[in-house]
Amino acid sequence: MNANRKYDPMISLRDVSKAFGGKTVLDKLSLDVAPGETVVIVGGSGTGKSVMLKHIIGLIRPDSGHIVVAGQDLCCQTPLELNQFRRLFGMSFQEGALFDSMSVFENIAFPLRRNTDKSEKEIRDRVQECLELVHLDGVESKRPSELSGGMRRRVGFARAIALEPDILLFDEPTTGLDPVISDVVAELIVEMDERLGTTTVTITHDMKVAFKIADRIAMLYKGRLIEAGTPEQFRASPNPIVQQFIEGRAVGPLTED
């Protein structure tokens, strides 16, 4: 698990640009994430936060710029190398993205069955371990459709950590959850982060969650990172756009255009 200390920075985005159908989503964006660091990217809806996260794991390729993760440049990998490369990652998706044709147990066992030679018993133990880590019990045989939103997220977390990844990516981990469950999920992220020692990138528009889990917060606006710093620095930012976003005001530079 500490193999990731070898690379510094663990994740490096250099001048990454991406446009969809003429609309620029990322505009020469650069970001470094140190090993073991927890970075939270905040920003309004539709500012390209998810797009950025999907670049890091190679689900989307940039139009220009370089992405280097754990010493590997994502530009020039064959499909087989890319598959191998993805084992570094655990990713949690917005609505959980659980495989709805499988039970909770099969969902978490899926990456283990596909990518390891573990025996059936070892798989069962590992699934149990992962479920304990996200504080779930007795849901193994349930279908994803039978779970609440918060539970689905947690099963998603459990599946993401099953292969003991070096890097965890969270895409809007608390969107659509009530404030209490949001806080529970945020605490869980902090706890997982501490116990697993992973490098973590989270994107959210929930400032409470951001302040709770981040070592460093960055704000994405118009395809660029306009502010980055520790939670204290971020909170004290003189940038009116950042201030408007933190306070969640309807009037300000964010809503002017």
151: tokens are: 């539970």
Q: Write the secondary structure of 144-206 as one string of H (helix), E (strand) and C (coil).
A: HHHCCHHHHHHHHHHHHHCCCCCEEEEECCCCCCCHHHHHHHHHHHHHHHHHHCCEEEEEECC
Residues 50-69 that bind other proteins (CB under 8 A): 54, 57, 59
Q: Tell the smallest beta-carbon distance from residue 111 to other proteins (Å).
A: 4
Instruction: Give the residue, chosen from 5, 66, 86, 142, that forms a contact with other proteins under the rule CB under 8 A.
Output: 86
| CA–CA dist 251, 255 (Å, integer) | 6
The binding track of 107-136 with respect to other proteins, each residue x by CB under 8 A or -, is ---xx--xx---------------------
87 lines the binding site for other proteins (CB under 8 A):
yes
Instruction: Give the residue, chosen from 83, 141, 148, 233, that forms a contact with other proteins under the rule CB under 8 A.
Output: 83
Residues 173-212 that bind other proteins (CB under 8 A): none
70 lines the binding site for other proteins (CB under 8 A):
no
What is the distance, to the nearest Å, from the Cα of residue 231 to the centroid of all Cα atoms in its chain?
Answer: 18
What are the CA-CA distances from residue 140 to residues 83, 86, 101, 108, 153 (Å)?
27, 25, 14, 9, 14
Residues 142-171 that bind other proteins (CB under 8 A): 159-160, 163, 169
95: tokens are: 């609505």
10 lines the binding site for other proteins (CB under 8 A):
no
Interface ranges with other proteins (CB under 8 A): 54, 57, 59, 79-80, 83-84, 86-87, 89-91, 93-95, 97-100, 110-111, 114-115, 159-160, 163, 169
